Amino acid sequence: MFDSSAFTTLSASSVNDIIPPDLFQTSGVNLPALLILICLYLAVTLGLAWYGFKQTKNASDYMIAGRKTNSLVMAVSYGATFISTSAIIGFGGVAAAYGMSLLWLAFLNILVGIIIAFLVFGPKMRKMGKALHASTFPEFIGKRFESRGLQSWIGLFIAATMPLYAASVLIGSARFIETTLGVNYTTALLIFTVIVAVYVIVGGMISVMYTDAFQGGIMFIGMFFLLVLTYVHLGGVVEAHTALSNLAPLVPEKLAAIGHQGWTAMPAFGSQLWWTIISSLTLGVGIGIIAQPQLAVRFMMVKNTKTLKRAVLAGGPFIFMMAGVAYIVGPLSNVFFYNTTGKIALDAVGGNIDAIIPVYINSAMPEIFVLIFMLSLLSAAMSTAGSQFHTMGTAVGYDLIRNGILRGKSAHTILYTRIGIVITIIIAVILAFELPGSIIARATAIFMGMCTAAFLPMYAGALFWPRMTKIGAYASFSVGFFVSVFWYVFVHAAEAVPIGICQDLFGVPTLLSGTWAYVDPILIATPLSIIVAIVVSLMTKPPAQKMVDDLFDGKDEEEEKDPAVAGSSS
């Protein structure tokens, strides 16, 4: 990235300023109409949450929706969980500044996060998760490698790092409510948190899945009309993209110096901007999606493999409509701003990347769409926060307390999970009050990168390599974690410079200079984690043959004659 502050720009950081003060209030939005829409929205959301509560009969329902989620609900919930408010506004703003090269991220999200995840990882995760009677991602890993300790460590990792990620969503949501409804930040934060917490704590995963699907539907509608209206406003698809290409000479000198070659062109190969786009954004976020515990666990919630295959048909278009549209509309907003103000988007909003999409929406779109888009942002925030709360709660209450500290001897699964949800929500809320936006955004991106390095080799090995051992999993997890931390603190300029530890200890801002200072940790820590997983597993005692035979026999419940067995919960 560019310097110590550039990461804030790149990751939609300034989360406290994702919706700048008074941005919507000065746009002439019909506040009574907005209040009516929000009340109707909340009524449907809480109604679905109540329905989820009534459908929750046991721990399996509460933890993994009874392993009976249908394909459409699963796909939309999965996508809505991944896409948050900061993703739409923040990364849409990044695309407005740096161009359509971010479409490679949308492509990778669909290829890795949907096609590979649903067709390659998903079927194995669903089959093994059911065979192991696993209800969470940490429990799946722990049972696969026959290690309660590993389950507890992964639960601790999630409990310690995900609250920072959740806090960024809470802050963006609270600022959104503050600026649109005129309530103070504290009230907005508490109202939003309480609403999401109620349906997560009471209804569990079934409530989360149904509310996610509803919220995802609103997001899809909002982004669809955003794309259509943008092209209509700019005179058509060909005309809009031609006009954007013609703006290349207006690229600011500072951006041109780091490789920016226009909004419809890739950055110069090997330039600082190229490394930022490719390593930190495209690979870091694009690959990171497959190792997110709150997403991976959803594969254990479906009835059968056919459900996952059908889900691809909904998941792919949904992710494109969420991420792809943002990365198309963002750059095209430059054409609108140039036509109306004579400036490119970044200059028109005073250099605040996070303000580009909101200002564009308010300036270019009809009022009724502004109202719909506001609900889309609220939906994006609530769907992500709900899944975060549930994942954090299960990590603390189920993986750490019940199965770690109590060694699985307690039957109060739902109780401990609810306690865990409350604890982690309180931590996230405290962070939302205390931490500045730039720190929160860095923590969000770090969480995704560290999940990839620490979890992905172990996760893939658990699914596809019978020879991988418990010690190999421990070693891979440890190396991925510690190498990531080292690279963030001592090498990667975006984090190392503001942290300052490297400067204090060695008298230099980063231990490595030049291109190395802009290479994301995922490209270093993940390969090392893979190598360690293979080498250590080959050097240690293989897992029990019976377990290998049970998990890797190639059979699936779809081969069973009784279809009711396939849909039963373990």
Sequential DSSP letters for 509-553: S-SS-GGGGGS-THHHHHHHHHHHHHHHHHHSPPPPHHHHHHHSS
Reported pTM: 0.84
DSSP states of 162-200 as a string? HHHHHHHHHHHHHHHHHHHH---HHHHHHHHHHHHHHHH
Rounded Cα distance between 246 and 261, Å, is: 12
Number of H helices, E strands in the chain: 28, 0
Can you tell me whether residue 323 is helix, strand or coil?
helix
* pLDDT tens-place string over residues 346-361: 998 888 777 788 888 8
Element (H, E) at 423: helix 413-434
pLDDT of amino acid 556? 59
- pLDDT-based confidence at residue 436 (cuts at 50, 70, 90): low
Question: How much is the pLDDT for 549?
Answer: 84
Residue 143 to residue 151: CA distance in whole angstroms: 8
**Rounded to an integer, what distance in angstroms lies between the CA atom of residue 167 and that of residue 152?**
23
Q: Alpha-carbon distance 267 to 98, whole Å?
A: 8
Given a cut of 80, is residue 44 above it in pLDDT?
Answer: yes
Q: Which residues contact 317 (CB under 8 A, 6 or more apart)?
A: none
pLDDT for res 239 = 95
pLDDT at 28: 52
Inter-residue contact 456 to 526 (CB < 8 Å): yes
Token output for 557: 């419940």
Residues 6+ apart with CB under 8 A from 399: 136, 138, 139, 142, 151, 152, 154, 155, 158
pLDDT at 473 over 90: yes
Q: What is the pLDDT of residues 189-242, one digit of tens each?
A: 898 899 888 888 888 888 888 888 898 899 899 899 999 999 999 999 999 999
Considering the chain, what percentage of its residues have pLDDT values greater than 70?
A: 89
β-pair partners for 302: 69
**pLDDT, tens digit, for every residue of 532-564?**
999 999 999 998 888 888 888 756 555 444 343
What six digits make up the tokens of 157? 């990792």
Cβ neighbours of 255 (radius 10 Å): 18
The continuous run of DSSP H or E covering 362 comes out as helix 356-364
* Nearest alpha-carbon partner for 454 in 297, 288, 307: 288
> Which tokens go with 275?
């490394």
pLDDT, greater one: 257 or 180: 257
User: Could you tell me the residue ranges of all domains in the chain?
Assistant: 6-557
Burial bucket for residue 480 (CB in 10 Å: 0-12, 13-18, 19+): buried
Model confidence over 511-523: pLDDT tens digits? 998 889 988 899 9
Tens digits of per-residue pLDDT, 491-500? 998 889 988 9
Q: Report pLDDT digits (tens) over 243-261.
A: 999 999 999 999 999 999 9
Is the separation of the CB atoms in 24 and 378 below 8 Å?
Answer: no
- Tell me the CATH number for domain 6-557: 1.20.1730.10
**CA–CA separation, 461 vs 541, rounded Å?**
15
Beta bridge partners of 69: 302
